[in-house]
């Protein structure tokens, strides 16, 4: 994973990492073997964008050994870049499992954010609940998600971590489908 740029997300800045070529290839192999990667079709993404590919990310969680392998790959990349977070934080629901396996790989504790929705069901923001805010105070936090499409979930997770007193160290994911970089994150 190469550190692409430093994202300036408000009060802090953090590394946005891009995986090395061998890790990209190994990740693709795992996704293909599980039927998670769907290509050459037409999809309308939640953002409203259209595309020819889809990562059916929930299928990977049906095979915990594969989710574990993805967490190990991501964890190795994180450590190879000299990042040793105190805590890994993922956005619920999709990012929880990958955050746990990644935390296991890097030897860190794991917490997650939860969505706060308005009356129409739209996401207002993410919050740190369940007493996790106390755990995050003054700790280095790596934000991990399974798939980054627009950066929306990791951006709101970042804001929740900062609000809880955590110190974001970086953002990482199994797949960056939207090629989201530091510029898109702020």
CATH number at residue 43: 3.40.50.2020
- Residue 185 falls inside a structural domain: no
- Residue 160 falls inside a structural domain: yes
Max CA pair span of the chain: 46
Taking Cα atoms as reference points, which of 110, 145, 113, 138 lies closest to residue 127? 113
- Residue 87 falls inside a structural domain: yes
Domain span at residue 107 reads 2-180
Reported as type and span, the H/E element at residue 9 is strand 2-9
Q: b/e map of 94-125 (b: 16 or more CB within 10 Å)?
A: bbbbbbbbbbebbebebbbbbbeeeeeeeeee
In tens digits, what is the pLDDT along the chain, a chain of 186 residues?
333 433 444 444 455 556 788 888 998 899 999 998 888 899 887 667 888 888 888 898 899 999 999 999 999 999 988 899 999 999 988 899 999 999 999 999 999 999 887 888 777 889 999 999 999 999 999 999 988 877 888 999 999 999 999 999 988 888 877 666 655 555
Number of domains in the chain: 1
Beta carbons of 128 and 111 less than 8 angstroms apart: yes
Tokens linked to 130: 């369940």
- Residue 186 falls inside a structural domain: no
Pairing of strands 43-44, 2-9: unpaired
């Amino acid at each position: 994973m190469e550190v692409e740029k430093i994202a300036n997300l408000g009060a802090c800045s953090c590394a946005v990492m891009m995986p090395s070529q061998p890790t990209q290839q190994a990740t693709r192999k795992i996704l293909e073997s599980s039927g998670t990667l769907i290509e050459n079709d037409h999809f309308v993404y939640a953002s409203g964008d259209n595309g020819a590919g889809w990562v059916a990310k929930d299928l990977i969680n049906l095979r915990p050994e594969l989710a574990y392998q993805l967490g190990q790959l991501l964890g190795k990349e994180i450590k190879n870049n000299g990042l040793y977070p105190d805590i890994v934080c993922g956005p619920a629901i999709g990012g929880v499992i990958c955050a746990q396996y990644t935390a296991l790989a890097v030897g860190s504790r794991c917490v997650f954010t939860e969505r706060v929705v308005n009356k129409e069901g739209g996401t207002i923001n993410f919050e740190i609940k369940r007493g996790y805010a106390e755990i995050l105070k003054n700790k280095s936090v790596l934000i991990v998600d399974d798939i980054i499409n627009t950066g929306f979930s990791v951006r709101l997770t970042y804001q929740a971590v900062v609000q809880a007193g955590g110190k974001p160290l970086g953002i990482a994911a199994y797949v960056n489908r939207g090629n989201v970089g530091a510029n898109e994150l702020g």
